[in-house]
Amino acid sequence: MTHYDLVVVGAGSGNTIVDDRFVGRRVAIVERGPFGGTCLNRGCIPSKMFVHPADVAVAAARGPVLGVRTSTGPADWPTIRDRVIGRIDHVSEQGLAYRQGLDDVDVLLGEARFTGERRLAVDLADGGSVEITADQVVLASGSRPVVPPIEGLDQVPYETSDTVMRLDELPRRLGVLGGGYVGCELAHVFSAYGSEVVQVEGEDVMLSNQDHDVAAHVTKALQRRWDVRLGVKAERVAPAPDGGVVVHLDDGSSFEVDVLLVAVGRTPNSDLLEVERAGIATDERGLVVVDEHQRASAAGVWALGDASSEVPLKHVANQDARVVQANLLATWAGTDPDELVVSDHRFIPNGVFTHPQVAAVGPSEAEAREKHGGDLVVARHEVADIAFGWALAGGLDDDPDGTGFVKVLALRSTGRMIGAHVVGPMATVLLQPLLLAMAHDLPVRGLARSHYWIHPSPSEVVENVLIELEEALG
C-alpha cells in the first residue's frame, strides 16, 4: 500500500490543482478515461470545434439571401472529425506524458473506489490493482451521460455525447433524444453537415431550463431546420430491417434513423467511487455534499465540478479547482479552517452553442417574478432593431440570423441587475458585460452612458437594453 500527501481522482479540472507549489509533496492522479477529463476529450472543447464548421455551413447556405453566390452540401465528415480528434488526442497525450515525467506525481490510469477513510483501491487499465491512502483526497470525478430505461435500448446500437463525435461516417438520418444543451448543439452540428435530424423532447419547448422567451425563440428557429417533436417521449426502440433504429414515441408515432443519439442528461460518478465507504455524504442526485470551501463531509476530502456542483459547467469546475488548490495549500500552511477561501457561485453564466446561440446568467423572468413580485423590472431589446441586426438580416425581418434579443432583470428596490438572457448572434460574448456589472454590483443607473459602445456593432443591443432598463426603473 502506498501513502500520498494528496490523491486527485479525475484528470480534468482536478489536474490543474497540482502546480509548482506542490513540489516535494507526493501526489497521485487517478483517471478512468482519457487524460484531461470530459471537457477536453468528449465535451465542450471538441463539441465547439464541431460547432464552428456547422456555423460556417449555415452561413454558406444563407449567402444567396444576402446576394452572395455561396452554397453548401454534405460536409466532409472524416476531415472535420480527424481535425478535431487529432488535436484533442494530441493534447491529452501531451498532458499525460508531462504528468508521468514528474518525480513527485504518480499517474494511475484505472477505476478508483473507496475502501475506507481516504483509502482507495484502483483497478488499473493495464491489469492488476493497487491500494492507496492519502492525507488529502480531491474528488474531481466528473459525470457521465444518463442512459434512460427505454424499452429495447439495450438491443440496438446507440451513441452518447461520449461517442458520437468519433463516428466513422456522417449519418444520413440522426435521431436525437433530448432537447437540452447537448442535444441541441449536436443536432445543429449534424443538421448543418447534411444529416436529416429528428429531435425528441418531452417538454413543450427546447432548452426548457432557459428563460421561456429564449426557449420559445430557439424552438421556433430549430423547427425551421429539422424535425422537432415536442411533448413526446421515446417509449421503445427496435432494430430496423436495414440496420438502423426505429424509435416509437408515446403518442403512437414512430420514425427510423441510421444513428440514435441519447442526450437526456448527465449523472455524477460518485456511485462508481463507492463514496459511502469513506463516509462521504451525497445528495439525492448523487452529488457530493460540500461546504463553501469545497470540503466534503469526511475529513480531508474535497470535491469540485460535476462531482459536487448542480451546474455541470467547465468554468464552474475550474473555479472550484482554484478554490480547492488555495485551500489545500492553506491547510498545509496551518491556516485557520474558518479563514479558507470561499467559492463564489452567485453569478454562474451558461452558454448554448446551437444556432441561434444562447447565453444566460441568473434566474429566468418567471423564477424572478415568483420570488420578487412587483419589485421586478424587465427590459428587452431586439437584435433586429440595431444597425448590426439590419446587416445580419439583409433587410428580411423574419431572418433568424438577424433576430434575437437581450432581456435583463433588475430589482426596483436596489437598482441592480439580477439576471440577463441573450439569444442570437454572439450571445455568449454579449452576455459578458452584463455579467461583469452583476459580479461587481454596479447600479443600472448610468451604466449605459458610463463608456462608449462601438457603432455599429452587436454590443449596441446591450447598450439599448440598459437604457430601457434604467428608464423602467424610473
Which residue in 297, 329, 331, 302 sits closest to 317, CA to CA? 302
In the residue annotation, 455 being an active-site residue is answered as yes
C-alpha cell at 406: 437581450
Q: How far apart (Å, rounded) are the C-alpha atoms in residues 11 and 14?
A: 5
**Which residue in the list 3, 52, 90, 455 is annotated as catalytic?**
455
CB hemisphere CA count around 286 (13 angstroms): 17
Other Cβ atoms closer than 10 A to 199: 27
Residue 8, all three cell numbers:
486527485
Q: For residue 400, what are the CA distances in angstroms to 223, 300, 350?
A: 11, 52, 21
Residue 450: which residues within 8 A CB-CB, separation 6 or more? none
Q: Determine the Cα–Cα distance for residues 351 and 473; give it in Å rounded to an integer.
A: 28
The residue with cell 462531482 is 307
Residue type, 397: D
CA pseudo-torsion sign 317, 318, 319, 321: positive
Sign of CA dihedral 33, 35, 37, 39: negative
Write the DSSP string, 305-316. Answer: GGGT-SS--HHH
Distance linking the first and last C-alpha atoms of the chain = 68
DSSP per-residue codes, 423-467: ESTTHHHHHHHHHHHHHTT-BSTTTTTSS---TTSTTHHHHHHHH
CA atoms 263, 195, 221, 45: torsion sign: positive
Residue 262, CA distances (Å) to 15, 66, 266 in order? 29, 36, 11
Q: How far apart are CA 217 and CA 209, in angstroms?
A: 13
Element spanning 318, H or E: helix 314-332
Residues with catalytic function: 455
